[in-house]
Every structure is written in structure tokens, then in C-alpha cells.
């Protein structure tokens, strides 16, 4: 049977071995490492339960304005426009615009801003005794005009973010996380833990963590296997032989596609079983859902494998394997680093879904509709891409597809 033959071809290839090594390596260094002892139940009377983000204008407004004034005076703005840190310095024109915004926000006049020259940042500094001490820093006095409404404030911050170039601390995505955190109370922490324990039934939370880690790699590794399979056909001069067979293009391409996806799922399932065994080990007395991790892996990871494989096949068919690897790499890069957050940032077209926390059951539930749409979207788009691959394959077979989008100089033709 063709399907099994293709599977065999893949399983006995070097790239598949590397795939397995990376996958298992990732599992053991990341997931298994995070999964060594049970999540502790919060105890009443602890000094610190962490903080949570909460939109409280009274906290956010002074903090954000202080931050903005501080950065303005230091001359450097930190931003994450593409997920990487970028240190932004403004041109004189933009500084003037920003100074106007600061005046509106804080009542500090332009003159004060210009003349102020003993700025010190707030934060922890090394004291003389070697310990860390918190200093308030030194900035001009801030008097928020009483007429400034919260909406005006947000609007001005949006403008400031735009001047800085996006991705700054004051953007809509980041402002709450940066300037409006409140300490968790014991009740908050307990509630969150109880969701983990009762609603997620433990395994649900671990399933998300598992998929979070493996998702990073199964959204890029499959492209190599797809490229390997198609390139081998080309470089070994098999193409003409394959073209001349009776099999329809659609059947051949889809069989190859599903055998790729199938073989790549096997190691994922094996690690899912390992993950469950791991969870069972640290929660020996709890009743656990045996299939939670496997189920989550199915809807979370398979669309990634499918999309990456399909993209690899399609681009290889149109141009070359090298371009396919590059395209997939760029896509992955953009997706991973588009958001600096590791939880709660799944949107409609997020390719690599992240949820790097055992908590946050409610965040995940709130995003559920988005997630369903997202995964279905990638599944459907993958199948369409494979179909397109089959169409192009058929056109090449008939000799009507001679346009190469990128000239591939590395391919050796035997024709």
C-alpha cells in the first residue's frame, strides 16, 4: 500500500531521526523539567502570592505617566516592536511632540522638561553595603490635571506609543501588564489553584503546558521532512518515472501528505503518553483524565504539523526546498515573536499558540472560540494548500507549469 510505503520511507530517513531527537529532547528539557513536583496550594498568611494584571485607572495612570516621563528624560525608550527588545531614540521633532503629550498628562511644562538635568531612574540599585536598595529616582513633580479622564489618558498614551514606533510599554497590549498590576490576595491565589485542581482536573493544565512547548517545534520541524521527501524525488531523477505512473496527482500528493503527517504525529503521541505518566507520578493519589493530554495534542498540535507540512510541500513544488525552509522559518519567527506574552495572546491567526502556565484556566476558556476558529482555519488552509500542490504537480506533469517563482540554481536536472 502506497501510504505504508511512504511512511516507511520517511521513518527510515535521517531527517525523521533528527525530528524525533529534537522532539524528545525538547520534551525532556522543557516539559519534564517543569513537571517535577506538584503545583503547591497557596497557604494563608504567605507574604506574596504574585501579582495579577487588573485594569485599575487609579494605579495605572500615575505609574504609566511616571514611566513615560522617566523614559523621556533618559532619552531612551524600550520597545518590543517584533518581540525583540529595541532601544528607541527619538528625533528632535518627535521629542517635541512627546513633550506636548507629557505636559497634557502630567502638568510638567516644556521648560521644566528641558531644564531638568539631574534625572535618576527609579529602581533597585546596589547600596554601599552591597545589598540592593530601592530608590525612587528623581523626576520633576507630576500633577495629573483633574480634568484628565481615563479615556483621554489612554488616548494620549496611544499617541505616545505611536510616536515611539509601536510595541512600547504604553501600547494597548502592554500598558496594563506594565503599569496596572495588583498583588494577588490569598483568595485570588486560592481560586486560581482551585480552578487548576477542580476545573482543569490537573491534567488539563499539564496538557496545555505540554502543547505550549511542543507547539514551538512542531510548527517548524515538519517543513524539513516535507522538503526532504520532495527533494529526494527531484534529485534522484525520480520525477519523470513518477509522472508517468497511472496514479492521479491528487492521490499521490495527498497520500504523501497524510503519511508525513501521520508519521510525525506518532512521536508526539508517544511524548504525550510519557507526559501523562510524568503527571501521574507527581499526583499519584488524584484521579486524572488519562486522555486529556492526548486530546489537547490532537486539536492543538496536529493543525501545526499539517500547516507546516503543507506549506513545505507547496513551496517546494513551486520553487525549491531551500525557499520552503526559508519561508517557513520566517513565518515561524514572525509568529513566535509577534507577541511578547506567553499566555493569553491567542488570536484568530496566531500560528504558534502559547500558554506557558499551569494556571490561567479562565483565560484559556475565554479564548476558546478564538482557538476553535484558529485551529479550524489552519486545518482547512492546510488542506487547500495540499490541493493546490496537487494541482501544480498535475500541471507540471502535463508540462504546462514551467514558471518558477524563484529560479533554483541548486537543483540538478537529469533531463
Q: Which residues bind other proteins (CB under 8 A)?
A: 14-15, 18-19, 22, 25-26, 29-30, 76, 81-82, 84-89, 216-217, 220-221, 224, 227-228, 231, 235, 321-322, 325-326, 329, 336, 407-415
* Count of CB atoms situated within 10 Å of the CB of 366: 11
> In whole angstroms, how close is the CB of 80 to other proteins at the nearest point?
11
C-alpha cell at 306: 499539517
Question: What is the Cα–Cα distance from 175 to 64, expressed in whole angstroms?
Answer: 8
**3-class DSSP state of 120:** strand
Residue closer to other proteins by CB (options 67, 312) is: 312
Q: Are 179 and 67 in contact (CB under 8 A)?
A: yes
19 three-class SS:
helix
Cβ at position 183, least distance to other proteins in Å: 29
CB of 76 to other proteins, least distance (A): 8
Q: What secondary structure letter does DSSP report for 149?
A: -
Smaller CB separation from other proteins, 104 or 231: 231
Shortest distance in whole angstroms from residue 123 CB to other proteins:
15
Nearer to other proteins among residue 9 and residue 280 (C-beta): 9
Least separation in angstroms between residue 164's CB and other proteins is 11
- Element housing 124 (H / E): strand 123-126
- Whole-angstrom distance, CA of residue 214 vs CA of residue 302: 11
Q: Which is nearer to other proteins, 87 or 403 (CB)?
A: 87
Instruction: Identify which of residues 269 and 326 has a Cβ nearer to other proteins in the complex.
Output: 326
Residue 34 vs 104, nearer CB to other proteins: 34
To other proteins, the closest distance from the beta carbon of 29 in angstroms equals 6
Residue 86, SS3 per DSSP: strand
Sequence-ordered alpha helix ranges (H) in 180-320: 186-194, 203-218, 222-235, 239-243, 249-282, 292-318
CB 168 within 8 A of CB 174: yes
Amino acid at each position: 500500500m502506497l501510504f505504508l510505503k511512504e511512511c516507511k520511507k520517511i521513518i527510515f530517513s535521517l531527517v525523521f531521526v533528527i525530528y524525533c531527537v529534537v522532539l524528545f529532547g525538547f520534551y525532556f528539557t522543557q516539559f519534564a523539567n517543569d513537571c517535577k513536583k506538584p503545583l503547591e496550594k497557596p497557604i494563608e498568611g504567605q507574604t506574596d502570592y504574585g501579582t495579577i494584571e487588573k485594569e485599575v485607572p487609579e494605579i495605572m495612570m500615575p505609574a504609566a505617566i511616571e514611566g513615560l516621563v522617566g523614559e523621556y528624560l533618559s532619552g531612551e525608550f524600550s520597545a518590543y516592536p517584533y518581540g525583540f527588545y529595541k532601544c528607541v531614540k527619538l528625533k528632535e521633532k518627535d521629542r517635541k511632540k512627546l513633550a506636548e503629550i507629557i505636559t497634557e498628562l502630567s502638568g510638567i511644562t516644556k521648560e521644566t522638561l528641558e531644564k531638568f538635568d539631574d534625572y535618576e531612574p527609579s529602581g533597585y540599585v546596589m547600596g554601599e553595603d552591597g545589598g540592593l536598595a530601592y530608590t525612587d529616582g528623581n523626576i520633576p513633580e507630576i500633577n495629573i490635571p483633574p480634568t484628565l479622564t481615563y479615556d483621554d489618558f489612554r488616548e494620549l498614551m496611544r499617541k505616545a506609543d505611536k510616536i515611539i514606533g509601536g510595541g512600547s510599554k504604553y501600547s494597548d497590549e502592554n500598558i496594563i501588564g506594565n503599569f496596572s498590576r495588583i498583588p494577588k490576595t490569598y483568595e485570588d491565589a486560592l481560586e486560581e489553584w482551585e480552578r487548576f485542581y477542580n476545573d482543569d482536573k490537573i491534567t488539563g493544565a499539564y496538557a496545555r503546558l505540554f502543547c505550549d512547548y511542543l507547539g514551538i517545534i512542531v510548527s517548524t520541524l515538519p517543513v524539513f521532512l516535507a522538503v526532504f521527501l520532495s527533494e529526494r524525488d527531484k534529485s534522484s531523477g525520480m520525477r519523470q518515472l513518477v509522472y508517468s505512473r497511472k496514479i492521479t496527482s491528487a492521490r499521490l500528493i495527498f497520500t504523501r501528505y497524510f503519511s508525513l503527517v501521520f508519521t510525525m504525529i506518532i512521536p508526539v503521541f508517544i511524548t504525550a503518553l510519557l507526559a501523562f505518566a510524568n503527571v501521574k507520578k507527581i499526583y499519584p493519589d488524584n484521579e486524572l483524565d488519562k486522555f486529556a493530554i492526548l486530546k489537547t495534542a490532537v486539536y492543538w498540535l496536529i493543525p501545526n504539523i499539517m500547516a507546516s507540512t503543507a506549506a513545505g510541500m507547496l513551496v517546494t513544488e513551486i520553487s525549491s526546498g531551500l525557499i520552503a525552509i526559508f519561508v517557513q522559518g520566517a513565518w515561524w519567527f514572525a509568529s513566535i515573536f509577534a507577541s511578547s506574552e506567553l499566555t493569553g495572546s491567542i488570536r484568530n491567526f496566531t500560528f504558534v499558540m502559547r500558554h506557558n502556565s499551569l494556571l490561567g484556566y479562565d483565560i484559556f476558556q475565554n479564548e476558546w472560540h478564538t482557538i476553535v476558529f484558529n485551529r479550524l482555519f489552519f486545518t482547512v488552509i492546510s488542506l487547500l494548500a495540499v490541493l493546490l500542490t496537487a494541482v501544480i504537480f498535475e500541471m507540471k506533469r502535463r508540462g504546462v507549469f514551467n514558471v518558477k517563482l524563484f529560479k533554483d540554481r541548486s537543483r540538478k536536472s537529469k533531463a
